[in-house]
Structure 1
Amino acid sequence: MPSFEPNAVIRGFQLTVVGTVRALKNPDLFKHEHFRQAAIAVAVGIVIQLIVQIPIIGLKFVLYILSWIIDLESATWDDDLLSGLEFLSKSVLQVPFVLMALMGHLTPTLDEIFMQSIHWVDSTYIQKHKSEDPNTLRAMYYPNLQLFPTKGGPRQSRPKMEVLMAFANRYGKKLALGLGVYFLSMFPLIGRFVMPAASFYTFKSNVGTGPAAAIFGAGLILPKSYIIQFLHTYYASRSLMRELLDPYFRRIKFTPEQKIRWFRDREGVLFGFAFAFTVVLKTPFIGVLMYGIAEASTAYLVTKITDPPPSPTDSEGFAESQVTWKNKHDFLRLSLDNLDKLNVAIEDQTPSTDGKKFS
């Protein structure tokens, strides 16, 4: 089954809605430090917005003066310049979102939201199935997951400057790549092919050559701004999903190669889940307040696409057993009101490599 099929993406959207509704029912969610940090991020974002808008407003004023001297009605360079600056402005105005991701590496707040939400999901599951035989229910996630030490997380004493430099390096590479593609698209002759080619390269390995070629063709017809927004949202969704899943991967020790396979096998569901939150998080000021809710919803997502972890002492081979999403076919066929059903049915079907059950 292709990991990026439409059914998987749609199920990811559905998990966003269900996960958010369940997270908002948690009475302890809004007690966390996250919302104070989000308010700080909003304030910093407003300041940065004002700083960025000053040169843009100044340039618009200069162009207005120049329009008295030269004819700008028939020129296009001024429109291209302003649209380029607006694109950079919108990218820079995502700074509050970037700050929230950075805070996840510097402080334990988002990690605590994830773990507290895992506990809430377990409690909700027990309450929902309280009339059933306890022996038929799935194992809990929180009791064993909270025993795993975090790996490179905010609870460890990593120098903050080291964390900042590592984060800036990753973010800088992504920003440079995006800006590079954008500026190449402004070149004469080859410019109109840059964005469609980038779309084809991005999606060929995920959706296949045929659909990627269709996206390439659409890129030649649609306005460049549509393709830019499409690619930016896609890459932003992938980055967001990795940040939201960071508390899980800090505990469960995957090798880089295992993690790549883990993401690839679930890519459609992860994209659908993250895409909805990416759109919401782009909303000025309100978006960063939703970051903690997105983290809480990710706890629900984890319980649907992974097995409950064993204790740390029995975890050898567990990461490799999770690389392939064993119940993907069945889960994608479940109705929306039966998303918990598979957790009951799968328990006796997924033994680990050493004979212990990882379900």
Structure 2
Amino acid sequence: MGNFDHNAIIRGAQLTVVSTVRALRNPDLFKHEHFRQAALAVAIGIATELIIQIPIIAIKFVLWFLSFIMDLESATWDESLLHGLDFLSKSVLQVPFLVMSLMRYITPTLDDIFMESLKWVDTTYVDKHKGEDPSNLRDMYYPNLSMYTTQDGKVKVQAEKKPGRERIFLFLRRYGQRAAMLLGVSLFSCVPVVGRFAMPAASFYAFKGVVGTNPAAVIFGAGLIFPKSYVVSFLHSFYASRSLMREMLEPYFSRVPFTPDQKKRWFADREGVLFGFAFAFTVVLKAPFIGVLLYGVAQAATAYLVTKITDPPPSPAEKEAFAETQVTWKNKHDFLMMPLDKLDQMNKAQDEKAAAPEVPGRKFT
């Protein structure tokens, strides 16, 4: 399964817990402007949700009225219709989550949370190792990255000239495509006979390029056995996790100038860890009201993740060549094998390993 193996996914899930705990220890996190905006997003989301619920409520009223003139006790189509509408509202549209994501393109608050949290990670790292020789500690992330502008990472993808309105349009198009795909697959699954293959086939297509043909075939077979609702939740969580992770990493990629090909390879080499990290947040962020408020916590936790799967950035003068050095995750094996409580030694251990002479048969510990 390559980069999507179970060790990487488990380590990513572990990082979700560790990074969240560390982010919540930052005394400045809850003073941030984000939570006022999150409250606004909740209000807008509720208002939009009520607008969406109007036609759903109307349909429920019509079904209730029809129950007086038709026998709906033995019918199942009405329950299927109501279930489908509920799925559309909660799993496909997710309006409050959409509103919170759009905030990124309107205000710099989430970007500020990421950078503030990155500074906090550096501070706690130095404090944790204050009794050690400073020359043995890893380089800091915040000082150099804070000197990069949020336009540096857009130069190579030719996005620096795109106005904010166009960036919002591109985000909404990606969101619409994903929602339309899930809705289309759900509707096709209702077709007699061939419909039962819709969800498993969509799962096979989604996972084939990530885990390979054989594991994807296993997922396809499981989709034929498990209830459709399970497959829908599984497929939705997969796409939502990938989308969330890309959004959370936007403050990093907006600064570091990756080409589209470099960025694609960067994600591919870290696929499992990123999925494991984002999956838990995806589940939590679905919760009404609370999920939107925790969006900022997820952004803060991503700063800690970045320090574990990338190298400290160089000075701005050297940033052009930096992206290519990050495409391949050099300390992946050590990272996946190292005990969780030793992760803060990762960069130091990697430097020692790189400096150690090559000795046949020697195993680095």
TM range (shorter): over 0.9
1:339 aligns with 2:343: yes
1:265 aligns with 2:269: yes
Range 240-249 or range 222-231, more displaced? 222-231
1:171 aligns with 2:178: no
Percent identical among aligned pairs is: 67
1:315 aligns with 2:322: no
Q: What TM-score does the superposition give when structure 2 sets the normalisation length?
A: 0.91
CA contact 2:92–2:179 (8 Å) conserved in 1: no
CA contact 2:92–2:182 (8 Å) conserved in 1: no
1:244 aligns with 2:248: yes
In 2, Cα distance between the equivalents of 1:258 and 1:86?
40
- The equivalent of 1:9 in structure 2 is 9
Provide structure 2 residue ranges, at least 5 long, that are not aligned to the other structure: 155-159, 356-365
User: How do residues 181-200 of structure 1 correspond to structure 2 at under 5 angstroms?
Assistant: 181-200=185-204
The amino acid of 2:282's aligned partner reads T
RMSD: 1.9
> Which consecutive aligned stretches of 4+ in structure 1 deviate over 4 angstroms post-superposition?
348-351
How far did residue 72 of structure 1 move? 2.3
In 2, Cα distance between the equivalents of 1:120 and 1:112?
12
- The equivalent of 1:129 in structure 2 is 129
How far did residue 305 of structure 1 move? 0.2
User: How do residues 39-118 of structure 1 correspond to structure 2 at under 5 angstroms?
Assistant: 39-91=39-91, 94-118=94-118
CA contact 2:16–2:301 (8 Å) conserved in 1: yes
- The equivalent of 1:230 in structure 2 is 234
- SS of equivalent residue, structure 1 residue 68: coil
Q: What TM-score does the superposition give when structure 1 sets the normalisation length?
A: 0.93
- The equivalent of 1:146 in structure 2 is 146
CA contact 1:152–1:158 (8 Å) conserved in 2: no
In 2, Cα distance between the equivalents of 1:92 and 1:325?
34
The amino acid of 1:122's aligned partner reads D
- The equivalent of 1:211 in structure 2 is 215
The amino acid of 1:90's aligned partner reads K
Provide the aligned length of Structure 1 versus Structure 2: 350
- The equivalent of 1:354 in structure 2 is none
CA contact 2:13–2:276 (8 Å) conserved in 1: yes
- The equivalent of 1:33 in structure 2 is 33
The amino acid of 2:48's aligned partner reads I
Change (3 A) 1:103 1:208: same
In 1, Cα distance between the equivalents of 2:320 and 2:48?
47
The amino acid of 1:231's aligned partner reads L
In 1, Cα distance between the equivalents of 2:329 and 2:69?
65
How far did residue 262 of structure 1 move? 0.5
CA contact 2:152–2:256 (8 Å) conserved in 1: no
1:326 to 327, 330, 340: 330
In 2, Cα distance between the equivalents of 1:157 and 1:34?
27
1:302 aligns with 2:306: yes
User: How do residues 344-355 of structure 1 correspond to structure 2 at under 5 angstroms?
Assistant: 344-347=348-351
- SS of equivalent residue, structure 2 residue 3: coil
Provide structure 1 residue ranges, at least 5 long, that are not aligned to the other structure: 352-359
How far did residue 51 of structure 1 move? 2.2
How far did residue 69 of structure 1 move? 2.4
- The equivalent of 1:278 in structure 2 is 282
The amino acid of 2:32's aligned partner reads H
